[in-house]
Structure 1
Amino acid sequence: MCRMIGFSFKSERSIDDFFAHLQNMAKNGKFAPHDHGWGIYALNGENVVYHRSQRPIFDDTFPSLKLNAGIIHARKASEHLPVSILQVHPFIDNCGKAFCHNGTIYDIPFHFIESDTYSYFFKIRQFNSYEELLEKIAYVAQNFKHTGMNFLMMNKNDLLVYCGYSTNADYYTLWYNDKNGFVVCSEPMNNDYVPMENKTMFVVKDGRIVRKLSI
């Protein structure tokens, strides 16, 4: 159970408002507090910003930076999982991917660390097409009990957004705004945000949704 924000723009812009919104969601939003650490993976041209902290995001600070794409995540640990820096999202691999997740996958086998999110990432992270990725998501959904399988993934410069859940639509629905660039949140920032449909994935590049896929 977590809160998260993803963003993609054609050029760099300040993310201070996104950071403040995630702080507010984590402290005052649905099922608050989300106080088991936070992390960010973001791009500024060819530069990468990657930071994870075990502190609650609403008790922490982050320098004012201009970035063009990224994901930010505030964690609320599932009851059966540890609380440590090892479980803080986003997770990364050595192929330009970063991954964060909202939901619980109860019976998925752990890989390396006690984290259902890392195991989810491990199972879907290698794909040759976005259709293949969707097939892998469907396999996990069909074979493991879960509440939510929402994720944000950076695949090099592409932002991938998946909204999928089996319960509590009010909590798990993702909200997005694509009027001036692209932003997606666990809870809307204002009335310009619209809900994603369940079991839907967006591929976002340079602030534009370039593909919509569904299971």
Structure 2
Amino acid sequence: MMCRMFAYVGSSTRELESLYKALRESASNDTRRIKDNKHGDGWGYVIYSGEVIWYYRSRRAIYDENFAVPQVDGKFYAVFHARQASKKETVSSRFSHPFQESNEKELIFLAHNGYVDEEKLKVWLGYQGYTTDSELVTKALAKFGMRPEVMERLREYTVSALNLLILRVDKGSGVGRLYYLNYFKKDPEFYRMYLSQGMEGKAVFSSTLKDYGIDGVPVEEGLRILD
């Protein structure tokens, strides 16, 4: 799967709007790819303010829909994703990102770019249903947590890239936290992610957004917190 995405934490709806517009343009014309340069197989987002969770997934292309940034007061967290599916039979709102899972302690929202061996994930999780690798990665984090040995196994199963944007919301306190992971085995021009710091927030985003006005520096390796 070859997708474009970003995560944002901060207090500026203007900065969120700029990121969204760059994502929409990059999904319509991915300047980092000669072929398959459209990410039109669905899109979605989650925005969490502490008071409200806005959560949306669509099978339509992000550039074929209109989105208005909601009015948010104070600090909020956001994850946006535009999909290019490797399995076209899964083009559906049911398989658009971000995926959502929960356990006893938290809600987990996850967006993924890349491909992880689906059969190995199913064996690990004991899962036999109809799904995608990205949904299975979300289920693994909800079941096993984000311990180093869990992330290492996911990297071991990675075929192309394990680029993750993860929003965790504690059920008890309501505290939100964003994480990102940039790990790839090929095509760094496409899979490398970047970090941007604005006046009122920070963002991690896919490389093509740089070509549509979002400045940033390459992210550091390993699982990191965006805060």
Q: TM-score, normalised by structure 2?
A: 0.80
Q: Equivalents in 1 of 2:99, 2:41: separation in Å?
A: 15
More strand by share: 1
Q: Equivalents in 1 of 2:88, 2:17: separation in Å?
A: 33
The corresponding residue for 2:109 is 98
Q: Is the 8 A contact 2:5 2:79 kept in 1?
A: yes
Q: Is the 8 A contact 2:101 2:138 kept in 1?
A: no
The corresponding residue for 1:140 is 154
SS at match of 2:120: coil
> Which 4+ runs in 1 deviate beyond 6 A?
none
- The gaps in structure 2 that reach 5 residues or longer are 170-175
Q: Equivalents in 2 of 1:191, 1:71: separation in Å?
A: 16
Closer, same or farther: CA 60–19 of 1 in aligned 2, 3 Å:
same
Q: Give the number of aligned pairs.
A: 199
Q: C-alpha deviations, 1:7-38, integer Å up to 9, x for none?
A: 001x3524222221111110112332000000
Closer, same or farther: CA 191–66 of 1 in aligned 2, 3 Å:
same
Q: Is the 8 A contact 2:13 2:69 kept in 1?
A: no
The corresponding residue for 2:223 is 201
The corresponding residue for 1:169 is 188
Q: Is the 8 A contact 1:37 1:54 kept in 2?
A: yes
Which of 63, 68, 71 aligns to 2:68? It is: 63
The corresponding residue for 1:13 is 13
Q: Does 1:183 align with 2:190?
A: no
SS at match of 1:46: coil
Aligned-residue offset at 1:3: 0.5
Q: TM-score, normalised by structure 1?
A: 0.84
Closer, same or farther: CA 27–80 of 1 in aligned 2, 3 Å:
closer
SS at match of 1:120: helix
The corresponding residue for 1:108 is 120
The corresponding residue for 1:4 is 5
SS at match of 1:167: coil
SS at match of 1:153: strand
Aligned-residue offset at 1:109: 3.9
- The gaps in structure 1 that reach 5 residues or longer are 209-215
Percent identity reads 24
Q: Does 1:124 align with 2:137?
A: no
Q: Is the 8 A contact 1:108 1:119 kept in 2?
A: no
More helix by share: 2
SS at match of 1:93: strand
- Code of the aligned partner of 1:96: L
Aligned-residue offset at 1:5: 0.8
Q: C-alpha deviations, 1:63-110, integer Å up to 9, x for none?
A: 232442110000000147622222111111233210010001134344
Closer, same or farther: CA 190–19 of 1 in aligned 2, 3 Å:
closer
SS at match of 2:69: coil
- Code of the aligned partner of 2:132: S
Deviates more, 1:30-39 or 1:78-87: 78-87
Closer, same or farther: CA 79–93 of 1 in aligned 2, 3 Å:
closer
Aligned-residue offset at 1:113: 3.2
